[in-house]
Amino acid sequence: MNQPCRVGCLLLMLGPISYFAATQARPFPGPDVKQIYDRLLPQIEKIPAFDHHAHPGYADDPDIDAMAAPPDASLPLRTRDDNPELVDAAKALFGYPYTDFSPEHAKWLIDKKAELRKQHPGAAYFDSILDKLNLETSVANRAMMADYLDPKRFLWVFFADSFMWPFNNEHETARNPDEGVFIPLQEKMLHRWMQQENIPKLPVKFSDYLEFIVRVLADNQKKGAIAMKFEVAYFRPTTFSDPPRTQAEDIYQRYVSGAVPSEQEYRIFQDYIFRFLVGLGGRLHLPVHIHSAVGIGDYFNLSQSNIMNLESVLRDPRYHSTTFVMIHGGYPLEREAIWLAAMKNVYLDSSFGELVQYPSAFKQTLKMWLETFPDKITFGTDCFPYNQVLGAEESYWLGVQSSRTALAAALAEMVSEGEITESRALELAHGYLHDTAAKLYEGRMH
């Protein structure tokens, strides 16, 4: 039996399932698409969402990320702090009465936020922001958690990259100006983990180094962490070889006391540690989040960090018990990326896609994903403070609004084109905005 026939027979066997529309799908939406959108959007706005990737916190908080924006980085149009949509954000969240952010107008917003922080002291302020946005829960992907974020609403995802940079990093730091910013921050992060575990200096033995890594992960989990995150694409290519432990051990012993490894030796060591961490994620039930899109900084190398480089790791049966979340869904390679979600343990997060693209373009991404593996995609904002005036609050708002409107539009087209029913559209909306992500951490949330 050839393949198309088998697929056809299978469809016949399935028969009329309620969430498929009754007729063959059409290539264009009908004139009803706007009405369907208008019906879906208010219902989608009522779904309490789970933000699967975000950096909540105040602009002056250095723990918002384990790295920092490189100086003078080129920012794509919509992510700039002069995006006029941010006026709408300030209006919706704080009743901002102006149409620009001139210094005297911006002062109104700074004062207003200060007043609200007094009214909602401690963790209540950011809880109130989540409430305004109908976000039930948000990941806090941060270097360390902040005491002003409510651990019941904000779930910590820590950074695991720094374990890959324990040696003398003078070559790594000198590669370009961006690495000059990033790598010292990785060294700082590693030292913070050492302090956490009361280790004054790196162990001489490789087995003790691996034991130290296990302890950090387990302790972070005890402190409430729900996942580990890699932003390794910022620091090196994401092609990972599969060296034996003896090779990594030999490199560790030769360089742990301060000599400078060659680039090749460093990469081999890192390849081993990366795979060790990925394996640990399975053993400890700690999902692995991986930055999989372009990144900030003019030296970010997209071809060397292409999401498809990770295919050999994601499809490796040794890691079948590790849950992978591909943060930013491989953007701008999201079309290829969705096929990685064929793996039962691989999920795609759409964050950043909805901030860098306008809803008309982001809608296409969501539609294509919803038509392929709808049960493997999750919502996130990637919110991040813009500056001292415009904070994570406005960024959250833009991410939430863009995602909900693009989702409603994508689903409205699918309904109008005869692909799915309206009730199925709402099921898909619940899955994407909340249920699929929440399920990954069931029993591990507070």
Residues that bind Zn ion (CB under 5 A): 382
> From the CB of 138, what's the least distance to Zn ion, in Å?
12
Looking at this protein, which amino acid is placed at residue 231?
Answer: E
CA contacts within 13 A on the Cβ side of 274: 26
> From the CB of 256, what's the least distance to Zn ion, in Å?
31
Instruction: Tokens for 80, please give them.
Output: 């700039």
Q: How far apart are CA 410 and CA 356, in angstroms?
A: 18
Structural element, H or E, at residue 186: helix 177-196
Instruction: Tokens for 182, please give them.
Output: 């990033």
Query: In sequence order, what E strands does 366-443 have?
Result: 377-378
> From the CB of 400, what's the least distance to Zn ion, in Å?
15
Nearer to Zn ion, 271 or 382 (CB): 382
| Contacts for 146 with CB less than 8 Å, ≥ 6 apart | 57, 61, 63, 140
| Contacts for 325 with CB less than 8 Å, ≥ 6 apart | 52, 53, 227, 287, 288, 289, 290, 347, 348, 349, 378, 440
Q: How far apart are the first and last CA of the chain?
A: 51
Nearer to Zn ion, 81 or 371 (CB): 81
Nearest by Cα to 51 from 125, 152, 135: 135
Nearer to Zn ion, 178 or 382 (CB): 382
> From the CB of 159, what's the least distance to Zn ion, in Å?
10
Nearer to Zn ion, 130 or 412 (CB): 130
> From the CB of 380, what's the least distance to Zn ion, in Å?
8
Nearer to Zn ion, 261 or 399 (CB): 399
Nearer to Zn ion, 169 or 351 (CB): 351
Nearer to Zn ion, 29 or 287 (CB): 287
Are 223 and 147 in contact by the 8 Å Cβ rule? The answer is no
Work out the angle at residue 38's Cα, subtended by the Cα atoms of residues 33 and 43, and round it to the nearest 5 degrees: 120
> From the CB of 199, what's the least distance to Zn ion, in Å?
28
Q: How far apart are CA 19 and CA 422, in angstroms?
A: 8
> From the CB of 334, what's the least distance to Zn ion, in Å?
16
> From the CB of 231, what's the least distance to Zn ion, in Å?
8
| Peptide bond connecting 332 to the previous residue in cis, omega within 30 degrees of 0 | yes
Backbone angles phi, psi at 358, to 5 degrees: -80, 160
Instruction: Tokens for 205, please give them.
Output: 């033995």
Nearer to Zn ion, 129 or 194 (CB): 129
Q: Which residues pair with 227 in a beta bridge?
A: 157
Work out the angle at residue 353's Cα, subtended by the Cα atoms of residues 156 and 181, and round it to the nearest 5 degrees: 60
Nearer to Zn ion, 334 or 382 (CB): 382
The CB-nearest residue to Zn ion is 382
CA dihedral 244, 250, 251, 253 (to 10 degrees): 140
Nearer to Zn ion, 145 or 248 (CB): 145
Are 248 and 269 in contact by the 8 Å Cβ rule? The answer is yes
> From the CB of 382, what's the least distance to Zn ion, in Å?
4
Secondary structure of residue 46 in the 3-state scheme = coil
> From the CB of 18, what's the least distance to Zn ion, in Å?
38
